[in-house]
Structure 1
Amino acid sequence: MVVHPPDHRGWRRVRCDGQSLGTAYRISDIAVFLASRGMENAEDFDVTDPALVDWRGGGPECWTPPPV
């Protein structure tokens, strides 16, 4: 899974296996995307595990727009 850098609003695009899962507005959105794709216990998915999630442009704590 790849979580792209925050855009000018602080929102982040999320992709998995080359497919868009959606735009996350907060970290909890990632579990919603995974659950909608059929993952059981998606709320327990460890978004901090670098083997599972490639955070680009800031880690799971970064939801602010980049400086202009």
Structure 2
Amino acid sequence: MSAYLPIVIYPPSSTGGRRVRVDGEILGLATSVRDVAEFLRRAGMEDITEDDVVLSGLIDWRGGGPDVWSTP
């Protein structure tokens, strides 16, 4: 990722999926790492990959990491 923007992935909702917020703006409800990567590309990080999403220390994963997409 070329530039740092505050990126927060919120805990899974009771209906599934996680809100994605970049620089204070909610971009949508992601249901996978692929969705997160697409939201970030649309936010201007054109060359981000799914691997970047999983491995980046710049993403604040709340309520579980990139492998958690639903509530227990």
What TM-score, normalized by structure 2, do the two folds share? 0.76
> Residue 59 of structure 2 is aligned with which of 48, 53, 56?
53
Q: How far is the alpha carbon of 1:51 from its aligned partner?
A: 3.0
Contact 2:16/2:31 (<8 A) preserved: yes
Aligned residues: 66
Q: Structure 2: 5+ residue runs without aligned partners?
A: 1-6
- Percent identical among aligned pairs is 48
How is 1:9-20 mapped onto 2 (pairs within 5 angstroms)?
A: 9-20=15-26
Q: Residues 58 and 29 of structure 1: is their aligned pair in 2 closer, same or farther, counting only changes over 3 Å?
A: same
Q: Structure 1: 5+ residue runs without aligned partners?
A: none
| CA shift digits 1:7-64 (9 cap, x unpaired) | 0122100101111111101110011111112222122662234631010111000012
User: Could you say what the CA RMSD is over the residues aligned between the two structures, in angstroms?
Assistant: 1.8
What TM-score, normalized by structure 1, do the two folds share? 0.80
> Residue 44 of structure 2 is aligned with which of 26, 35, 38?
38
Distance in 2 between residues matched to 1:30 and 1:56, nearest whole Å: 14
Bigger drift between 37-46 and 3-12 goes to 37-46
Aligned with 2:53: secondary structure? coil
Q: Which amino acid aligns with 2:35?
A: D
